[in-house]
A and B are shown apart, each in its own frame.
Chain A
């Protein structure tokens, strides 16, 4: 579904991605882990089209999207949940989701109220992420955890083929983390998911395969069990995380 070949990304002298190759089949759930500065968020942002790579190629369902802009990739079925909440703060939860629903139907419907079906679809999506009853609340009045749930609702309302999740549980309480994890685990199995996450419980609950990034390179790639047993991974990252957990 998504294929990354020899992706390179440098900011001045700093090489954030140094020839990363990855391939995700349709419906695959892949976690990318690694220490801070490994290039995980750069990888997600490059896939989403927010950063232009300095080399390499990205294909989505066989189509080369390396040079496409973020909005064109979104139209092709790529949805992005940011590490830091990126929402429309004076608008209600319903309106935030409605913008994602309306994006699929084209923005140039310049006259008259949006069709009722669209706000019904937005409400259904909010109920799915556990925000039923909060539809009319403005984003700025929502709690941090609720905003993360809303982020997910907005991304799902795009009806994506590939979902890019950049630390979806960042800053959440254990209860909220568990709720979001189960929510993602319960998503349609045909949806391809690439998730960057620090919480190893979340990673091993969700991912079919795990890729470990270190200093912009893939140093391990395999099933969750393989990666758990890989000594190099323990050295750079897991050892620390496991001992904390």
Chain B
């Protein structure tokens, strides 16, 4: 009976999240919906990165390459093919991100730790440079403007509330997929690779291929997050594939709590609040929200390595012991 109760609770929470703009209309502003929408996109992006950082032990500092690839693929597909069909543009985003992750993955999966970090960073910077300079395709420094919002089976996602619902549904689906993956034999194998790759090889696992598969899976999900970002803002910037965006996802994972399902989600809520709410509380010429984010990150690295989820678990255990 217990899993059934839990399933019902998750279902109710998911339904409440997806319908947020409708039931919050009397008291919440439009801004709240936009804020949550962007936080959910960041959460999808961070959930995908956590498969690498928190599960497989692959600290990628180039994950924005796949976010950017997905965003460009969705934008370019809709403009060049003149279609707003969701399966076409979202499919293009997932496919392009997956292929890019396969190519970069083959180059990086045999390195570990700091070398893996630097290699992913360097290769993602190449992707950024291509996005920034290949003006004919990507719009270069001007970015790609006027990305169309998608339709699916006659349903149009261009209204703000419908766009929000698309993001929320994708978020719920992604969270369920990641949940299913991490508890699977495959998810356990990724943790095995993180903890003791040598022993995994002795057990008969082709660990290089396991790491590559995780890299491609995470890259594909990041590409989907990128496409949602392109739809939402109707714009793709080279910065979407840049180092700043990679760092943002990394900080989100670590502040929330790596290796947990809730961590990337609560981390994205905190990061979004700091990015969007803090500037409105400060004088307009004081642009220090990135510095605040940096300080928060340092504080977590120094004092709470397990992130917000770790702090919460710790507090809960202390309360229960009394």
- Map CB proximity to B onto A59-92 as digits: 1 under 8 Å, 0 otherwise: 0000000000111101100011010001111110
B203 close to chain A: CB less than 8 A: yes
Whether B198 pairs with A100 at a CB distance below 8 angstroms is no
What is the interface residue range for chain A against chain B? 35 or more
Residues of B within 8 A of A79 (CB): 202
0/1 per residue, A1-30, Cβ < 8 Å to B?
000000000000000000000000000000
Report the number of A-B residue pairs with Cβ-Cβ less than 8 Å.
94
Known: A86-B198, A108-B213. A158 touches B204 (CB 8 A): yes
Q: Would you give the shortest CB distance from A199 to chain B, in whole angstroms? A: 24
The residues of A that contact B201 with a CB separation of less than 8 Å are: 50, 69-71, 74
Contact B202 A88 (CB under 8 A): no
With A103-B204, A158-B203, A158-B204: A50-B198 Cβ-Cβ less than 8 Å: yes
Quick check: is B188 within 8 A (CB to CB) of the other chain? yes
Given contacts A86-B196, A102-B189, contact A71 B184 (CB under 8 A): no
A74 in contact with B199 given A99-B192, A112-B180, A114-B184 (CB within 8 Å) = no
Q: Is B195 among interface residues, defined by CB-CB distance under 8 A?
A: yes
Given A108-B213, A113-B183, CB of A71 within 8 Å of CB of B204: yes
Tell me, in angstroms, the Cα distance from A167 to B196 when the chains sit together: 20
| Known A-B contacts A86-B198, A87-B196; A114 and B185 likewise in contact (beta carbons under 8 Å) | yes
Beta-carbon nearest neighbor of B195 in chain A: A88
**Among residues 161 to 188 in chain B, which have CB atoms less than 8 Å away from a CB atom of chain A?**
177, 180-181, 183-188
Contact size class for B? 20 to 34
Q: What chain A residues lie within 8 Å of B199 (beta carbons)? A: 82, 86-88
Residues of B within 8 A of A99 (CB): 188-189, 192, 200, 203
Contacts of A72 in B (CB 8 A): 204
> Given that A99-B189, A111-B181, A113-B184 are contacting pairs, would A89 and B195 also be in contact in the complex, using a CB cutoff of 8 Å?
yes
Residues of A within 8 Å of B203, CB to CB, are: 71, 74, 99-100, 103, 154, 158
Taking a contact as CB atoms closer than 8 A, the residue among A82, A86, A102, A111 that contacts B180 in the complex is A111
A106-133 at interface with B (beta carbon < 8 Å): 107-114, 118
- Least CB separation from A151: chain B residue: B199
B207: CB under 8 A from chain A? yes
* Interface status of B123 (Cβ within 8 A of chain A): no
State in angstroms the CA–CA spacing of A136 and B19 once bound together.
40
Query: Which 6 A-B residue pairs are closest in the complex by CB-CB distance?
Result: A74-B204, A110-B186, A88-B195, A102-B185, A70-B201, A107-B189
A-B CB contact pairs (8 Å), 25 listed: A70-B201, A71-B203, A71-B204, A71-B206, A74-B201, A74-B203, A74-B204, A80-B202, A86-B196, A87-B199, A88-B191, A88-B192, A88-B196, A91-B191, A91-B192, A98-B185, A100-B203, A102-B185, A103-B203, A103-B204, A108-B213, A109-B185, A109-B186, A114-B184, A158-B203
